Chain A
Amino acid sequence: MNIRSLRFRITAWSISFLALALGVFSIAVYLGVQQFLTLSMQRNLRNMSSNVETVFLSEYGKRGEKWAVGEINEAFSGGDDRYVRILHNGREIFRSDDMHNPPVIIDTIPLPNSGFTGITRMPQISGGILQFTDQYEAPDGRHFTVITGASQATMQRVLRSLAWVLVAICPIVLLFAAVAEFLLIRGPLRPVLMLTQRTEHIGRDHLGERLPVPETGDELQRLAIALNRMIERLEDALAHNHRFSADASHELRTPLTIIRGELEQAIQEPGLSSTVVDAIGSALEEIDRMSQIVQSLMATAYLDSGGEQMERKPIDIGHLTGSTIEQMRLLAEERNITLITEQLEPLIVEADPTRLKQVIVNLVDNAMKYNQPGGMVTVSTCAQGNNALLRIADNGIGIPAASIPCIFDRFYRADKARTRATGGIGIGLAIVKAICNAHQAEIRVHSIEGQGSVFEVSLPLCE
């Protein structure tokens, strides 16, 4: 699972919020129940107290203490989880039985200060005690202090179970919600995934195509429309770029022909001094170079624009590499470079033979150019999955890491001074790249400066 995926993050966020909400909800429920239980207990104590007062104590004077205590004892014998104590003139005239749920000896509960009215909490006594003290003035003027109390143990037990239930239920709910959301969100996110795949496909080399726009009126439709506009602008810009290269090189051809023709004729004029012949010769050499640039620009512009009419047929890349290398042996000898073919697996790929050969020639030539005398260039072809891999390795000067991303750009040179001497025009690799693109082939380069470079071309194998 990709934890950075939108799907995961949306789920994670909403589950976090859900957890927070559940937490707040649980605490609120807990506090509410606690409050409710406490209040109802207080109400009970007050009722009890007023019962004792109005039913029994008001008759105290008339019927005597014995009657009152007997009656109260009958009604509130206690012993369970509550108790009653009555003081009359500082003397305790009634005390219910000790509580046994939980067991508390009533005598150990401290008496309130005289004259105190209200609720006293005694959490220190086992399970906690809530006590209500009331000062009662009977109609005949007698004064009583009525103390009613109850153990909070039961309430605490209830609250504890409630807490446990909440603590146990929340994670389960969260887990269910997370799983459900993670599964459900795939639905609405599927168009995004499809949009991504289509955009990738178009971005690679199908700029002429457009994304399907879902008529949903939602954000995805807007995204698709926006992306389509961007693709269009990209296509326009690239087309403009290609057209410019094509037009520029095209327009340069006629003047170049004229200059060359005039100079060629001029140089044949009899009686020219050797300086003039040299100057014209030098100019002719430069025209040759410019012609190459123009031709290469034209070729890359053509290939970049898709090279639709490129000839494609099944060819054995191993055999082609072998024969090309044989043709280049003398070039290697001349530069004192050992040209080795390691392993040439016969692999059938669908390609334009001339163009593919150009890739081999350019890469091998490059490997020899950027090498030292006595250097080595190793060429091999082998199968790698569904691809044919052409590998050209050298132990030459290598490419600085910073230059690697640029080496396939037109007219880029890693080391201006050095390449000038080798006579390159900085477009060989651009052509290689363009040919690879037109063949849906991938080209990779690994290089360590001072140790050499490895170029790998990966072409889809023919079925």
Chain B
Amino acid sequence: MRILMVEDEPKLSAFVKRGLTAERYAVDTLADGVSGLEYAETYPYDLIIMDLMLPAMSGEDLLQRVRRRNSCVPVLVLTAKDAVQEKVKLFDLGADDYLTKPFAFAELLVRVKALLRRGPVNRSSTLRVGDLELDRLTQQVKRGTKRIELTAKEYALLEYLMQNADRVLSRNMIIEHVWDQSFDGITNIVDVYVGHLRTKVDEGCTTKMIRTIRGTGYMIRTGAET
């Protein structure tokens, strides 16, 4: 999978490139809009990640031009503005997703993967991580043979974690998916719910599946390493 990254901040594109390369993506990084457009028109990229404020050609212009030429490449926009109307405008211009700075790399990765697999999304009715099983049809959760009773929010949280098993999810991502922006930043609602979920899922089991990644967020994984 080949990804084009247009971002004028070299350090930012450097760590994104490093991270994405580690995930086995091929990444080209460019620092301005004009050369970005050149590359986008020349090579068949699977995904374009771009900043909105670029030298030589603004991100908006670049986005519009890319869309005019090649209408199907997914575009993820990195933006420092987060006003609602900015986002609406971005979608109007043809962006597929956006990410507000500052973001966690995990979040970028989740979004990149989501954009790249558009279509064949894992929609199977049962999610499985280790011996933990979640049935989307009956909304039942089992660990081994033991049934786990969850509230609606806990269920939504677990489903989101399991959908992204083995991947770190930031509090911000969890809030956006399970709650809404109103809870953003102010409360520790995520920690409280994860705490509750953890006692229900991991209590009495030797392998603790829900893990806290300090400073980043939470992740569910089979266990083994600590």
Tell me if B1 is interfacial: C-beta within 8 Å of chain A: no
Question: How many residues of B are in contact with the other chain, CB < 8 A?
Answer: 41
* Any A CB within 8 A of the CB of B45: no
Q: Counting CB contacts under 8 A, is A260 at the interface?
A: yes
B226 CB to closest chain A CB (Å) equals 11
Query: Which B residues are in CB contact (< 8 Å) with A253?
Result: 80, 100-102
Q: Determine whether the beta carbon of A331 is less than 8 Å from that of B189.
A: yes
List of A residues within 8 angstroms of B171 by Cβ: 288
Complex contact A362–B186 (CB within 8 A): yes
When the two chains form their complex, are residues A281 and B214 in contact, meaning their CB atoms are under 8 A apart? yes
Query: In chain A, residues 226-278, which have Cβ atoms closer than 8 Å to a Cβ of chain B?
Result: 250, 253-254, 256-258, 260-265, 267, 277-278
Distance between Cα atoms of A287 and B34 in the complex (Å)? 33
Q: B83 is contacted by which of A262, A302, A330, A331 (Cβ under 8 Å)?
A: A302
B182 touches A257 (CB 8 A): no
The residue from A262, A264, A330, A360 contacting B193, defined by CB atoms under 8 A apart: A330
Q: Which of A375-395 contact B (CB under 8 A)?
A: none
Does B16 make an interface contact (CB < 8 A)?
yes
B111 part of interface (Cβ distance < 8 Å): no
Which A residues are CB-close (under 8 A) to B215? Answer: 263, 267, 280-285, 287-288
Shortest distance between the CB of B144 and any CB in chain A (Å) = 26
Interface string of B141-180 (1 = CB under 8 A from A): 0000000000001000000000000000001000000011
Q: Which residues of A283-302 have CB atoms within 8 Å of chain B's CB atoms? A: 283-285, 287-288, 291-292, 294-296, 298-299, 302
A residues in contact with B16, CB < 8 Å: 261
> Please, which residues of chain A bring their CB within 8 A of the CB of B22?
265
- In the assembled complex, the Cα of A284 lies from the Cα of B22 at a distance in Å of 21
Task: Please tell me if the beta carbons of A357 and B83 are within 8 angstroms of each other in the complex.
Answer: no
Q: How far is the CA of A264 from the CA of B106 in the complex (A)?
A: 9
Q: Pick the contact of A295 from B12, B19, B85, B184 — CB < 8 Å?
A: B184
Q: Does B188 contact A (CB under 8 A)?
A: yes
* Cα distance A334–B82 in the bound complex, in angstroms: 31
The interface on chain A, measured as residues whose beta carbon lies within 8 A of the other chain's beta carbons, has a size of: 50
B91 at the interface (CB under 8 A from A): no
Chain A contacts for B106, CB-based, 8 A: 264
Task: For B189, give the chain A residue with the smallest CB separation.
Answer: A331
Please, how many angstroms separate the alpha-carbon atoms of A354 and B84 in the complex?
Answer: 11
**When the two chains form their complex, are residues B188 and A331 in contact, meaning their CB atoms are under 8 A apart?**
yes
Q: Which of A260, A267, A354 contacts B102 (CB 8 A)?
A: A260
A117 interfacial contact with B, CB 8 Å: no
A278, A281, A309, A324: which contacts B182 (Cβ < 8 A)?
A324
Specify which chain A residues have a CB less than 8 angstroms from the CB of B25 in the assembled complex: none
A interface, CB within 8 angstroms of B: 250, 253-254, 256-258, 260-265, 267, 277-278, 280-285, 287-288, 291-292, 294-296, 298-299, 302, 309-311, 324, 327-328, 330-331, 334, 354-355, 357-358, 360-362, 365, 423, 428
26 A-B pairs in the complex with CB atoms less than 8 angstroms apart: A254-B102, A257-B101, A257-B102, A261-B16, A261-B19, A262-B15, A264-B105, A278-B214, A284-B214, A284-B215, A284-B216, A288-B171, A291-B102, A295-B100, A295-B184, A299-B82, A327-B179, A327-B183, A328-B189, A330-B153, A330-B192, A331-B188, A354-B182, A358-B182, A361-B187, A365-B187
Besides A256-B101, A331-B187, A354-B182, 16 other A-B contacts (C-beta < 8 A) = A253-B80, A253-B101, A254-B80, A257-B102, A264-B105, A264-B216, A277-B214, A280-B215, A285-B214, A285-B215, A327-B153, A330-B192, A330-B193, A331-B188, A334-B192, A355-B182
